[in-house]
Structure 1
Amino acid sequence: MILLTGAAGFIGSNFLARLNEAGITDVVICDALGTEGKWRNLRQREFHDFVPIEKLEAWLATAPALEGVVHLGANSDTTAADGDEVMDRNFGFSLMLWNHCTRTGTPLLYASSAATYGNGDGGFSDQDTPGHLATLEPLNLYGWSKHIFDRRVARDVEQGRPTPPRWYGMKFFNVYGPNEYHKAHMRSAVFNVTGTAMKGEAARLFASDRPDYVDGGQMRDFVFVDDICDIMLWLLRGSAPSGLYNLGSGQARSWDDLAKAVFAALGQPPAIEYVPMPETLRGKYQYWTEADMTKLRRAGYNASTTSLEEGVARYVRDFLAKGNRYR
């Protein structure tokens, strides 16, 4: 049996689909369904039981032996401002599951984030020593909450404290794909650009407020959610060394590239407008991210990742252009 938190969310529901495709249905899922329609992400899925977030700790106290825990539940809003709520969800909840997996000898996969790298001046190497992690400076509350849990884990390892038998902190980069409809302002640019393009409008991208980047030339590591799910299943089933791992494509691409890929998938000529960077993002915006995938490759993962053009085309043509936002 596998425990999957955040199961109705974007990556969580896609990973549940990947588990089902692999013939795995003995899954206990945990999430807060709320009123955003997240339940639709679960309509086609098979699972054993559903546990509300507030009841999970009590459920774990009498739970059967678990094959693994995949912890994706979090407040992932990069503009979140309630520090107490974010700390409770992103640090406290993760620590509770870390301690449970340590006590019971259960493998743990947990979601970290590329937001932990801050502006990228320190690079994007997924080293997990306390010394290296101390050099990173996240730009927002969300990134900081993920970062301090990574640092707590690194200290436990360095000081020889007990840990789960296998553990993986997954640093997700810019993931896109189906089942993100409920995410409001956190939806991917692929979703947003497709919506405006299908209405005959120009894509609206942030103008650059730095002289070393042209408008639309800001770079991100965009990665298709199917690739993420394949890596996660490989980690869950395999024997890779424990540690932090980058989960990205390994190649930075511009926002212009992404928008043009959407228009190409729709068979339309590109039309792009640039709007000023919001004040709330100035000084907190990552201008360049690119996952260093060396560590994952050395651990034995050798599958290729989907190109931006192919991944966008699959998402747009197979889902968004058909009015189907859910897998």
Structure 2
Amino acid sequence: MANEQDIVLSVENLRVNFPTLDGVTEAVRGVSFQLVRGKTLAIVGESGSGKSVTSYSILRLIQKPGQILADRIMFYPRDGKPIDIARLHDRSEELYRIRGGKISMIFQEPMTALSPVHTVGNQICEAILLHQNKTPRQAEELAAEMLAMVGIPDPKRRLEQYPFEFSGGMRQRVVIAMALVCRPEILIADEPTTALDVTIQAQILKLIKQLQAELGTSVIFITHDLGVVAQVADDVVVMCQGRIVETAPVRDLYRQPYHPYTRRLMSSIPHAARDPRLKELGRTLAVVEGLPPQYSLQRPRGLRRGTPPILYRLPGGRQVLVWPTAQEAVA
């Protein structure tokens, strides 16, 4: 377990609800986790599991009528007192300073994250001028330095270009540059490699790890790809139906997943080394039962209706979602 002084972000009992005509949809249900300073925490799950909603909630980016409810979302900056983001007003100056300044986000699709009618330089400089005490000339120089750092050649000329003039991989590098230009303490990466081919994906993952080491940034990495998790993460949170079903250090999770849902996710990964040749036609692939994200978390017989599952703590900083015994449910 990490020491308390090593924690940069602590989320406690996060719930996110969306009122609809058919009732309230619980997108996130009682999620709690901690991010260790300088480390990478991967949040993994199928589409609809609540992982992206969880990450958006940290920065209070869920729009009405969505409701963010949490006991605490504690941010521990290096130079300052702890901040409970859950208690900040939506329009408070402190929340604006945190967004993009102390905590930044790489969004899933770079073409929607970048304005098509403004140059790349204009968009990066806007973030600098908003969060740092820089002149426009200094902001432009810093933006060019950041583009060079993420591997974009001829950065000063590229500052004058528009997003459509960049390839998909280069656009993602621009988004990364924009997110890191203010040297944030936390970077939230929401599936930053989903729309990229495997070659560009490997380059982006390597770039994020390199910049994390250089800048000392802590990273929350949102993904559905367990292969990516193995490359980037120190710790893993597995989500299903808006709940955390398992947490573990990455090596322990791959060595021995405990929860049935985690085991199903692991078994669905192709293993080229284990299966070097194509199997016979008609071989059934491993699947996760139900429609995403509705994996069966059915209540066992004899347990009272309405009794929720609980996260059971295990040695080595691990947790797994289990149903309580009848005695525990009554206690």
Give the TM-score taking structure 1 as reference length. 0.29
Larger Rg: 2
- Larger strand share, 1 or 2: 2
Give the alignment's TM-score, normalised by structure 2: 0.29
